[in-house]
Chain A
Amino acid sequence: MTDLLSALLDPFSYQFFVKGIIVATMSGALLGLIGVYIVLRGMSYIGHGLSHAIFGGFAASQLIASSWYMLGAGIWGVASALAINSVSRRHRIGSDAAIGVVTTASFALGVALLAKFGNRGPSFDAALFGSILGISQGQVWALAVISIVTVVLVVLGYRALLFATFDPDVAQASGVNVARTDAILVSVLSLAILATLTVIGVTLVAAMLVIPAVTARLLTQSFGRMLVISTILGAFCGALGMYASYYANVPSGTMIVLIAAAGFLIALGIGPGLRRRESAGAGPAASSVPAVSVNPGSAIR
């Protein structure tokens, strides 16, 4: 028994693993939280695109100054995100097409620069699939700061963000600055992707942006609950995936995404029943209405 326990706790005796678990949990939670807005806006593809764009930013900025490549990639990422936002707003091009153009061009530039001038900065194999070995103390702090900024923005702008996501026209007419809300959202998104890239990897960040959010959507009909569930699911998948990757001896990103995908499959099975129960319970709002009986059967159409 004690052998089993010590085997299970064994990875925690390594400093790099403890750091990895913390970063993976925070990354999962952060992407899970932002993912809700991205999925509900029908922009799931933007995570995929931006992670590739940021990869281009890594490659370009490490040529200029290898020690400042994070900052360079961050600026590059935010610029790409704002470019997508602006192109799709002004030129009647769907955001999916705008994402396709802006981000693949950026990725191609990054690959070309790497091929031509070589790599002077960190390992880019790790950046593609995620690794816990390459996490510096600075990156942990960057992730923490971006997570805090995101939570503050989501709390302060909760109703505005929800309104602008649900019904942008009416939101605009009701005093919400929709253009500003959108710009803030894509900027935060690109910073979040930048901060989580090294753990989860370019190719898999998009999955962690989408899977917890759609899984949460399967489990609830309420926006507030979806935000909470998606964040918790993301954190849980990050932690469990990192832990499993230690034993499976595979890149951390792959295990995190596989566990999230398994969670999605479970939610597909139990989701409909949960949503029905939620509906029949009629939530906290209706419970404040006296003398109303809600027929559970009537919720099912």
Chain B
Amino acid sequence: MTEPLLRTVGLGIAYQQGRPVLSDINLTIEPGEFSGIVGPSGSGKTTLLRVLMGAIAPPRRDPQGLWQGTVERRAGLRMAYVPQLETINWDFPVTVFECVLMGRPQRGVRFRASAAERDEVMTALDRLGIAELAGRHIRELSGGQQQRMFLARALTRQPDLLLLDEPTSGVDITTRHAVLHLLGDLNASGISIILTTHDLNGMAAHLPNLVCMNQRVIAHGPPAQVLTAPVLEATFGAGLDVLNHLGMPVVVDSGRGAPATGELLDPHAGLPAAPAGPGGGTDD
């Protein structure tokens, strides 16, 4: 059996004592994995992603015991991260080329792209079909192109594991499909992929693997196994039914068993949740 890329053992994190964000996360990510982390807003999925990529690391001193467990990475594991588009300052003066080049660490005084780096960046952009936009300012791209630009930046790091935070939030259905296909191709080329999504039907049902979480991991496996009423109720705290449409699980809001606050907060309570487009999902 091959060595897993990454493994968390009993991982628990709290920002304040007594208020855990993640608890007892035991997750093993095997080579070739292509998984979506699904959970409601505040379920800790972005935190988990940030821990996996190392942006949140155990503090040097932890008298309150806010960190528990460990994150083990395979020696020499190369990771790359694609941020949520909403977190980016799109007025920042960088061109697409400059943005992708950021992914390559600088060697010595040579801060401009060497011929080899230029080739590498252009190859990555070309692979994602946006090579002709290299000289453009980042704001001139559409949402899908912006996503591709960050994917290109990630690819220049030649990652074993690619982490994406909500890659489909704020993009239209066509782009969502394109992103999904693109990720499928990258996965087929040998890159393991973990992404977060709140988009149960548009995205999650199309992924080979799902991790349903709400502070802890509730289920981990293929959608057909994971997308069941009990798992979804434990994850989202609301009554959701799963229908079978052409062999694909489709999640709908059953309108039952939802907590009173959920009914008040959710304008779509009682309506089918599919497709969970903008406004239908949650934001993390």
Contact at B101–A159, with CB atoms within 8 Å?
A: yes
Query: Mind listing 17 A-B residue pairs with CB under 8 Å?
Result: A158-B106, A159-B111, A162-B98, A169-B83, A174-B157, A221-B95, A222-B137, A223-B92, A279-B135, A285-B95, A285-B98, A285-B118, A285-B121, A286-B133, A286-B136, A289-B131, A294-B132
**Per-residue interface assignment for chain B, residues 85 to 122, with 1 indicating a CB less than 8 Å from any chain A CB and 0 otherwise:** 00111001111111101111110110110000010011
Cα A279 to Cα B50 in complex, Å, equals 35
Closest to A157 in B: B106
Contact at B111–A158, with CB atoms within 8 Å?
A: yes
A40-B92, A224-B98, A289-B122 known; A174+B103 contact, CB < 8 A: yes
Contact at A166–B97, with CB atoms within 8 Å?
A: no
Contact at A289–B132, with CB atoms within 8 Å?
A: yes
Cα A170 to Cα B118 in complex, Å, equals 21
Contact at A159–B104, with CB atoms within 8 Å?
A: yes
**Residues of chain B within 8 A of A288, CB atoms compared:** 118, 122
**Residues of chain B within 8 A of A289, CB atoms compared:** 122, 126, 131-132, 134
Contact at A281–B135, with CB atoms within 8 Å?
A: yes
Contact at A166–B134, with CB atoms within 8 Å?
A: no
Quick one: which of B50, B92, B99 has the most chain A CB within 10 A?
B92
* Closest A-B pairs by Cβ, 8 of them: A283-B135, A158-B111, A285-B97, A286-B135, A282-B135, A221-B137, A285-B134, A292-B132
CB distance from B104 to the nearest CB of A (A): 7
A166-B89, A166-B92, A223-B94 known; A283+B55 contact, CB < 8 A: no
A221-B93, A221-B95, A226-B93 known; A175+B135 contact, CB < 8 A: no
Closest to B119 in A: A288
**Residues of chain B within 8 A of A294, CB atoms compared:** 132, 135
Tell me what chain A mostly uses at the interface: helix, strand, loop, or mixed.
helix
Q: Does A172 interact with chain B (Cβ within 8 Å)? A: yes
Q: Which of A155, A172, A175, A301 contacts B111 (CB 8 A)?
A: A155
Q: Does B53 interact with chain A (Cβ within 8 Å)? A: yes
Contact at B102–A166, with CB atoms within 8 Å?
A: yes
**Residues of chain A within 8 A of B87, CB atoms compared:** 169
CB distance from A137 to the nearest CB of B (A): 30
Quick one: which of B79, B94, B97 has the most chain A CB within 10 A?
B94
9 additional A-B residue pairs with CB within 8 Å, beyond A221-B137, A279-B140, A281-B135: A169-B50, A172-B55, A174-B81, A226-B93, A285-B97, A286-B131, A286-B136, A288-B118, A292-B132
Cα A156 to Cα B54 in complex, Å, equals 25
**Residues of chain B within 8 A of A297, CB atoms compared:** none
CB distance from A127 to the nearest CB of B (A): 34
Quick one: which of A40, A217, A288 has the most chain B CB within 10 A?
A288
Cα A233 to Cα B118 in complex, Å, equals 29
Q: Does B211 interact with chain A (Cβ within 8 Å)? A: no
Contact at A40–B137, with CB atoms within 8 Å?
A: no
Q: Does A138 interact with chain B (Cβ within 8 Å)? A: no
Q: Does B273 interact with chain A (Cβ within 8 Å)? A: no
Q: Which of B53, B81, B105 contacts A159 (CB 8 A)?
A: B105
CB distance from B55 to the nearest CB of A (A): 5
Cα A175 to Cα B106 in complex, Å, equals 11
Closest to A287 in B: B135
Q: Which of A155, A160, A283, A301 contacts B95 (CB 8 A)?
A: A283
CB distance from B75 to the nearest CB of A (A): 16
**Residues of chain B within 8 A of A221, CB atoms compared:** 93-95, 137
**Residues of chain B within 8 A of A275, CB atoms compared:** 137
Q: Does A167 interact with chain B (Cβ within 8 Å)? A: yes
Contact at A224–B112, with CB atoms within 8 Å?
A: yes
**Residues of chain B within 8 A of A158, CB atoms compared:** 106, 111
Cα A286 to Cα B98 in complex, Å, equals 11
Contact at B140–A299, with CB atoms within 8 Å?
A: yes
Contact at A173–B137, with CB atoms within 8 Å?
A: no
Q: Does B240 interact with chain A (Cβ within 8 Å)? A: no
Contact at A160–B106, with CB atoms within 8 Å?
A: yes
Contact at B140–A159, with CB atoms within 8 Å?
A: no
CB distance from B205 to the nearest CB of A (A): 28
Q: Does A198 interact with chain B (Cβ within 8 Å)? A: no
A167-B88, A173-B79, A217-B93 known; A279+B131 contact, CB < 8 A: no
Cα A286 to Cα B130 in complex, Å, equals 10
